Structure formats: structure tokens, C-alpha cells
Amino acid sequence: MKDHKISQIMRSRAIKDRKIQIGEDGFTLLETIAALTILALIVSFSLPRTGSGTSPNRLNALAYQVMAVLTNDRYAARLKGLPVSTVVDASNHRILSGTAERWLVIPNDVILEIISPIKCDPMLQLPNIRFFPDGYTCGSVIRLKTTQGTIAITVNRLTGSVSLAD
């Protein structure tokens, strides 16, 4: 008789446990991941879009790279005792160092302009800046323009020094 009562108690407990498990509220891992994915999509569409163009900081870094190419060519002309030309290919967005013989590529969203009072090296077809061993150069201004701003790099005609314009 005792065994029968114990088995009835155990059955009733098992039935209660099953009811709790069946009626238990909660989320499965799959439901949670699906909800978070939907939430992430909604948030990504609601955030403002930022431009994918060249940032002001990247434009500054690019200006310093251009200055480095020009300064390197200037010092090479003085050390070698020979003229060195830096070629500015604005249509293809690139600048060729006269000493390193490699192109500095400018991003397509940056407008590259060269303003030179005279054609420095008539042998070259592209606009260029020619540095002479005595420090003299034809003097030029290179502009880097984006929708967010413009930076000008000047090459002094008499000294050949390279600087950012104010």
C-alpha cells in the first residue's frame, strides 16, 4: 500500500513538472538571435549615412605625403647637383617623384590641381615642378580639393621650400 501511495505521489509530481515545462514562458536562443538581427537591421537603416569620401584628416595626411615627395625631390636636386622634376598628372590623380620614380596616387574624390606660372620642363608633356641644384624652382601651387575643404601646397620660386598655404 505504501508503495502504491508513493508511486501516486511521484506520478502527480511528474505531471506537475510536465505542466510547468510545457507552460513555461521564455525565449530560445534562436528566437533571441532572430530578434537581435532584426533590431540591428532597423538601427542600421535609421542611422544617418556618413560620406564615404576622403575625410579632412585623410586630406591632411595626403597633403603631407605630397609635401614629402616635393621636399625629397628638392633635396635630391641639391645633393646630385642635377635638376629633378616632379610630375603632376592631375587627370589621372597622381604625382610622380623625380627621384623615387613611383607614383603617389590621389583618391578619385580629391580634385588635384597644379598652378604654375611657367612650364618648368618643356621636355615633359605633363605639368611638373622642376627643382634646380641652386634651390631655384619655377614655383607652383598644388591644390587638393574635396567637398569638405581645400588644401594648398606651395613651392617657393626662389628658395624651393615646400609649405602648406594659409
Predicted pLDDT at 66: 93
Predicted pLDDT at 136: 86
CA distance 148 to 55: 8
For CA atoms 95, 96, 98, 102, the dihedral sign is positive
Predicted pLDDT at 85: 87
pLDDT tens-digit readout, 85-95: 888 888 899 99
Binning pLDDT at 50, 70 and 90, where does residue 25 land?
low
For CA atoms 47, 53, 54, 56, the dihedral sign is negative
Predicted pLDDT at 130: 87
pLDDT tens-digit readout, 51-69: 667 788 888 999 999 999 9
49 burial (CB, 10 Å; 0-12 / 13-18 / 19+) is exposed
pLDDT tens-digit readout, 104-139: 999 988 999 988 766 666 666 678 888 999 988 888
The secondary structure of the chain as a DSSP string is: -HHHHHHHHHHHHHHHHHHHHHH-----HHHHHHHHHHHHHHHHHHSPPPP-S--HHHHHHHHHHHHHHHHHHHHHHHHHTS-EEEEEEGGGTEEE-TTT--EEEPPTTSEEEEE-SS-S-TT-SS-EEEE-TTS-B--EEEEEEETTEEEEEEE-TTT--EEE--
Binning pLDDT at 50, 70 and 90, where does residue 31 land?
confident
Predicted pLDDT at 45: 79
Domain 56-164: give its CATH code. Answer: 3.55.40.10
Provide the phi-psi class of 54: left if phi over 0, else alpha when psi is between -120 and 50, else beta: beta
Residue ranges of domains in the chain: 2-46, 56-164
Predicted pLDDT at 47: 73
Predicted pLDDT at 5: 62
Binning pLDDT at 50, 70 and 90, where does residue 34 land?
confident
Asked if residues 128 and 73 have their Cβ atoms less than 8 Å apart, the reply is no
Mean pLDDT of 6-17: 61
Q: What does pLDDT average to over the chain?
A: 81
